Amino acid sequence: MELKDTKVTLAGVSLPNPVIPASGTFGFGLELKDSLDLNLLGGISLKGTTLNPRYGNPTPRIAECEGGMINSVGLQNPGIDALVNDKVPALRSCFHNAVIANISGFSLDEYRECCRRADECEGIDIIEVNISCPNVHNGGMAFGTSAKSAAEVTAAVKQVCHKPVFIKLSPNVTDISEIGLACQDAGADGLTLVNTFLGMRIDIRRRSSVIAAGMGGFSGRAIFPIALRMVCQTARKCSIPIMGCGGVASAEDVIEMMMAGASAVQVGAENLRNPFVCEEIVHRLPALMDSLGIDSLTDIIGTVNR
């Protein structure tokens, strides 16, 4: 088998391969450093971080589903100070590829301040902005549910960031490609899609929701075809790079996501079922590329839309 080129680029940041554990499914990267070689990964999207520490939602927070899971963790995290002062430096002592900080907020000021701090942190390469959070100053609707508010967040964080900013989009909208285009027009360097779908399970014996918060984010293999469609539609309208995610569980899924228009691919819920899945995908990719006649992964990005 000839040597295959798995390298990809995200807004000027080079990755040895496109495989990235998604935020919230791989902690801060350190939890698995003694179990696998982290440097096999193209990058790591760190646990979602807010301005202040958060204890998250009441338990139970997880519900199993056919083909996936529902979670309502509620952004439990130690806050931006811990991220930039402790978590990233510790990760950088053993990881040399792309570090992606995932930032959440409940107001424009929170987003701006968190992203400013992340931008100043030497060990962070890309800032991924999760706009699925409720806007506390606008009735609680998520920032990502309208093109206008998504663009406002994008413009706000771009004012304080020199590093590439990727906006992570919610799929719980009518037309995700329009929101992606609004973020691009507001200065986003890239997009991540999709975040989780809103879902629910009911305990029929207790006659109440399995999740204490009532509903949560549905992810896992079952959402892959929908996520793939959304990546494809958005790639048709937008010219900035996309990190595709949603139900990715195999090297074949990675190839599909890239053919739909993704420049890199995040693996989420499958990490919780199999913590070694990203490593397995990285090892599998060259042989799969060989069987498909692919010499370089960059050659297949968006082939469906050409």
pLDDT at residue 306, as a whole number: 82
For 267, what's the count of Cα atoms within 13 Å in the CB-facing half-sphere?
Answer: 30
Say if residue 194 is preceded by a cis peptide, omega within 30 of 0. yes
Residues 118-172 have pLDDT tens digits of: 999 999 999 999 998 776 677 667 899 999 999 999 999 999 999 999 999 999 9
Q: Output the average pLDDT for the chain.
A: 96
pTM: predicted TM-score of the whole model, two decimal places: 0.97
Q: Under a CB-based contact definition with an 8 Å cutoff, are residues 150 and 131 in contact?
A: yes
pLDDT above 70 for 14: yes
Residues 22-73 have pLDDT tens digits of: 999 999 999 999 999 999 999 999 999 999 999 999 999 999 999 999 999 9
Known catalytic membership, residue 133: yes
For 156, what's the count of Cα atoms within 13 Å in the CB-facing half-sphere?
Answer: 20
- The two tokens of residue 194 are 């999709």
Widest CA span in the chain: 58
Q: How many Å apart are CA 215 and CA 217, to the nearest integer? A: 7
Q: Under a CB-based contact definition with an 8 Å cutoff, are residues 102 and 245 in contact?
A: no
- The two tokens of residue 177 are 């490609």
Q: Under a CB-based contact definition with an 8 Å cutoff, are residues 72 and 216 in contact?
A: yes
Q: Which H/E stretch holds residue 14?
A: strand 13-15
Q: How many Å apart are CA 267 and CA 98, to the nearest integer? A: 15
pLDDT above 90 for 279: yes
How large is the average pLDDT for residues 200-227? 96
- One-letter amino acid at 5 equals D
β-strands 98-103, 43-45: how paired?
parallel
SS (H, E, C) 210-221: CCCCCCEEEECH
pLDDT at residue 137, as a whole number: 74
Helices (H) and strands (E) in the chain, counts: 9, 16
List the beta bridge partners of residue 102.
128
Q: Which of 115, 121, 133, 183 is the catalytic position?
A: 133
pLDDT at residue 100, as a whole number: 98
Q: How far is CA 86 from the centre of its chain?
A: 22
pLDDT above 90 for 213: yes
Instruction: Report the CATH fold assignment for 8-56+75-198+218-305.
Output: TIM Barrel (3.20.20)
Q: Under a CB-based contact definition with an 8 Å cutoff, are residues 271 and 278 in contact?
A: yes
pLDDT at residue 139, as a whole number: 66
Residue among 277, 162, 264, 148 at smallest CA distance from 220 = 277
Structure-token match 């490593």, residue found: 279
Q: How many residues does the chain have?
A: 306
pLDDT at residue 2, as a whole number: 75
pLDDT at residue 140, as a whole number: 64
- The two tokens of residue 118 are 């992340």
Indicate the pLDDT class of residue 6, thresholds 50, 70 and 90: very high
How large is the average pLDDT for residues 98-125? 97
Residue among 125, 103, 119 at smallest CA distance from 159 = 119
pLDDT at residue 136, as a whole number: 62
Q: Under a CB-based contact definition with an 8 Å cutoff, are residues 242 and 284 in contact?
A: no
Q: How many Å apart are CA 146 and CA 240, to the nearest integer? A: 19
Q: How far is CA 16 from the centre of its chain?
A: 18
